[in-house]
Structure 1
Amino acid sequence: MRLKSGIWVSAFLRRCMVEGIFGAVVKRGAEEAGAVYVVVDHLDGTCHLFGPAPGPSHDDEGERRWALELMPPSGPLDVRDVLERRKRFDPDIWIVEVEDRRGTAGLAVSS
C-alpha cells in the first residue's frame, strides 16, 4: 500500500525521533503525492541527499524507492543548489532534513 507523502514524512520523522535522530520538515509539499527529498546531515560538513528513484516510486512491497542524488563529501551548499533546481521544476516537493552522524537515517538506494 502506498502512503501519501504527508503521512510518510510524519512516520519517517517519528521513527527518526525514536532512534534519537533529530529531523524536521524544511519545505512542505503536496500532501497527496509530492516528491520527497531527504537531506542527511552528518554534522561534519558533509551530507547525503536522497530523492525519488527513477521509474516506479514504490517497490513491490509498497516501500518508497530512493536514488542517491548527492553523497559525501557533498556539503550543504551543494545540497541547496540541487534542491533549488528541483523546486523550480516542481514546487510541490517535500524537503526533510535529518541529522545522523552514523549514516543515512535508515534510507537505502533502490536497485
Structure 2
Amino acid sequence: MRVTTDFWVSALMRRVFGEGGFAAILSRGATEAGAVFVLARDRFGTTTLYGPAPQTSYDSARPDERQFSLLESTEDASSIDARLERERRFDPDIWVVEIESNSPVQDLIALTKP
C-alpha cells in the first residue's frame, strides 16, 4: 500500500530537518495522490528540479516506492519556475517541496538513472 502524498512529504521534511537542513512546501497539492516535485538548492547557487519518474522506471519488486528523475539543473531559477508553471497548468494538484540539505539528494529520495 502506498502512503499518501501528504504523509510522504511530511516524512521527507522531517528527514531533511533531522539532518540539519531546511525544507519548505512551496505548493501543496492533492493530499492523497498529488505528484511531487523536489527543488534542491545548493550553496553554490545551483537549483535542481526532480520530478516523478516515468512509469517505466518503477521496479516491479518495489512498485509502491516513489521514484524521481532529474528534470533540470541550472543557476537560472526563472527557467525552473517556468517549468513548474507548465506542470501546474497540466496538473494543478502538484506538490513542490524545496530542500537545502547537507546530505546528497539521492540519500533522501529514490532517483532513477536516465
Structure 1 contact 2–58 (Cα < 8 Å) conserved? no
| Percent of pairs with identical residues | 43
DSSP-derived class of the 2:55 partner: coil
1:63 match: secondary structure: coil
Q: Please, which runs of 5 or more residues in structure 2 have no aligned partner?
A: none
C-alpha distance 24-89 of structure 1, shift in aligned 2 (>3 A): same
Q: In the alignment, what sits opposite 2:20? A: 20
Structure 1 CA distance, aligned partners of 2:80 and 2:102? 17
Change (3 A) 1:6 1:56: farther
Alignment match, 1:44: 44
| Distance change >3 Å, CA 47–CA 108, structure 1 → 2 | farther
Q: Name the structure with the higher helix share.
A: 2
C-alpha contact 2:20 2:102 (8 A) present in aligned 1: no
Q: Is the 8 A contact 2:40 2:98 kept in 1?
A: yes
Distance in 2 of aligned mates of 1:82 and 1:53: 16
> Matched residue of 1:20: which SS?
coil
Q: Are positions 1:106 and 2:108 aligned together? A: yes
Change (3 A) 1:20 1:58: farther
TM-score (norm 1): 0.86
Q: Distance in 2 between matches of 1:57 and 1:7?
A: 23
1:36-63 CA distances to partner (integer Å, 9 max, x unpaired)? 0000011322111110011168543332
Pairwise CA RMSD of aligned residues?
2.0
Cα displacement string for residues 11-33 of structure 1 (whole angstroms, at most 9, x for unaligned residues): 00001110111001001000010
The CA deviation string for residues 78-100 of structure 1, in whole angstroms up to 9 with x for no partner, is 21111010001100000000113
Question: In structure 1, what residue type is equivalent to 2:39?
Answer: V
* Structure 2 CA distance for partners of 1:40 and 1:29, relative to 1, 3 Å: same
Counterpart in the other structure of 2:32: 32
The alignment of Structure 1 onto Structure 2 pairs a total of residues equal to 110
Find the counterpart in structure 2 of residue 77 from structure 1.
78
Residue 108 (structure 1) shift? 4.2
